[in-house]
Amino acid sequence: MSLTGLCQVCEAATADHACDRCGRAVCDDHWNGSARACSACDAGRS
């Protein structure tokens, strides 16, 4: 899976991670490494 392109949350930074839950490519700022999820998915969990 290619990770080239922009973060699909902020669309302002280069995406460095792929969310295991939704598959979105996200930047460091929108990645929760401990949850292995993007900030959008992590916000949906308590």
Contact 17, 40 (CB under 8 A): no
Residue 14 neighbours by CB under 8 Å, 6+ apart = 5, 6, 7, 27
Cβ distance to Zn ion smaller for residue 2 or 41: 41
Binding string to Zn ion for residues 6 to 45, with x set by CB under 5 A, is what?
Answer: -x-xx--x-----x-xx-x--x-xx-------x--x----
Cβ distance to Zn ion smaller for residue 2 or 17: 17
Contact 45, 35 (CB under 8 A): yes
Question: Nearest approach, Cβ of 6 to Zn ion (angstroms)?
Answer: 8
